[in-house]
Structure 1
């Protein structure tokens, strides 16, 4: 561990699930802004790779091997980060695990484990962050959510249940912060399907290899949304047109979506390639102790590097200003034309 840099005004950020996928991409995005980042995850190789990414991008990193399902480990990690870098400014909850399986074939301990990591890990992270932010009455917590926090799909009942729970938990805590007139920001970013390594290592009973439901976006799109949310007063941000369609569709035509997902929801989550029944999964133990999986999964050739919907959402003020300027110019042109016509008549 390095000593705290007391002369730096760099932002102090904690990211759970930082060893791979969205967490890994988010660490690099914050590092590009010069942040000091506490990287929390279980896998040793993934954490080391994330540390190198952060330092290459211009940030500082502290790795803390942490199982977020254990609140004592989360608290210990938060203490370690503040001992080295100082007060935490931004806490990003991103750790997850899942099981691809029909609900009828799920084991009770699998539901418990997914809930402990994917839901309770967010609860423990939020509590650790709030314990340190409340005395200062400042700080930001970003929950990495999903369109599946609103719309459940087949074969992912444990994960969808956890994401729904995060949504309810976050809304509840936000109302309490508002009641207390707190300056702490609590936001949730709802993600689309992303090209991350999770499809290589989550437990699966599918007959074929799993895939994100298209359209698929690169994890850097998610990372940009998270960093933007951390620096803007926004309760919730939807990422990707597919997320917008899923959330709004579930509000308007939920029964139609039920029938549609019953017909195509399973096949859309698999590729035409047999699953490897002997591969390891990370439900109980990390699979990246020896191998660094990085941020990307196996779908680079199909994943989108940008979301036009996200750009439009995060540039509303600029767009409104541009529209106002164009409208003003149009009005000015019309008035001038009328003035010229009146001069000719005189």
Structure 2
């Protein structure tokens, strides 16, 4: 942008210098013509119309350069827009891959959780079965104690009953110990963390889930940012297209106006040249007639000489008027050229 501003500044300075030079050339008066009668106006200098043409060409070149710069800027913005679109598509594909991987891992994690839940339900059912067996053993022991109390009088039967009672109590103790072991194992299974390998796997999967969520959020934020930049680039591209269109229309209008002004100036110049030629023919005829009259009167008397002197004075006045008319015509042509420029 600085380089473009510098180039535009240099172009403006060059245009100002050329306009100043042209104005100086246009408004500088030419030296007065020699005091003699011109036979025709064919040797008069033409109106300097090349300045307007030069300014027209310079403005056309400036507008053309500006138009080319805007087209180049539009192409750069379009290429950048294409690159951003390709990058956005690639990011979207990566995000879709991450989402698919996340869904697959989620399904695996759900299956693992269902498996752990099945193992816990199996342990609970085993504990309930052992508890029911213990309750049945306690009921049988109570029945046997009641039978022993009813049969207190029998010796051998009492010994057998005591032995059976002891065996039943031993079985109850074994069952209680087994129950305690199972309860401790169940408590450990419920409260204790899973094995080291499962914990590490869960930790890695939790970390992977967090990483995937973070990456998904980052990708979403990046997509929003890229969408915002994409909208800005689209707006800039539309603005560049509008500026290019305006520059083209302005260039066309300026060219048409310049061509119309040039044609009008050429028509005016041709009309002025025709009037000058007609005046030159008329003036030449008058000068010839006066010269002939002067030559005829010089050979006469003193009165004739005085009349000849008067005719010479009239001839001098006519010459002065012709020279003034020539100067006014040149000034008028230069003024029209300056106005057209």
Same fold (TM over 0.5): no
TM-score, normalization: structure 1?
0.15
**Of the two structures, which has the highest relative contact order with CA contacts closer than 8 Å and spacing of 6 or more?**
2
Higher helix share: 2
Query: Between Structure 1 and Structure 2, whose CA radius of gyration is higher?
Result: 2
Higher strand share: 1
TM-score, normalization: structure 2?
0.15
